[in-house]
Amino acid sequence: MKNDLRLTTHPVLDLSMDGRNRVTITIDGTSLEVLEGEILAAALWLNGFISLGHNPSDGSHRGMYCGIGHCYECRVTVDGVEDVRSCLIRARDGMRVSLQSFNT
């Protein structure tokens, strides 16, 4: 994982990554190494994928906004299934992710 932006220490939270497996996912043909079971939106964000698509009407960026599945701004295609909310799915080995453009 290049330029890993994860917090590694915190005064209250246990952020230990000991024993967590690293897995490979592919986003638009680019392989990324992420932590198994990590929320997909976070894994993408931490690897520099801040914009997860564009609105075709005005070109505005779409990405993780609410982080709890209500806004639908973080939708991606996962293993051929469109409109998957990346904030609600965990990364798994071999996952294929594609960015989307949205009409609404």
The pLDDT tens digits for 11-44 are 876 766 667 789 999 999 999 999 998 999 999 9
User: Which pLDDT does position 1 carry in this prediction?
Assistant: 44
Lowest mean pLDDT, pick from 31-35, 56-60, 68-72, 99-103: 99-103
Please give the full DSSP string across 29-89, using - where no structure is assigned.
Answer: TEEEEEETT-BHHHHHHHTT----EE-TTT--EE--SSSSSSS-TTEEEETTEEEEEGGGS
Residue 52 CA to its chain's centroid (Å): 8
**pTM for the structure as a whole:** 0.79
**Domains with residue ranges and CATH for the chain:** 22-101 (3.10.20.440)
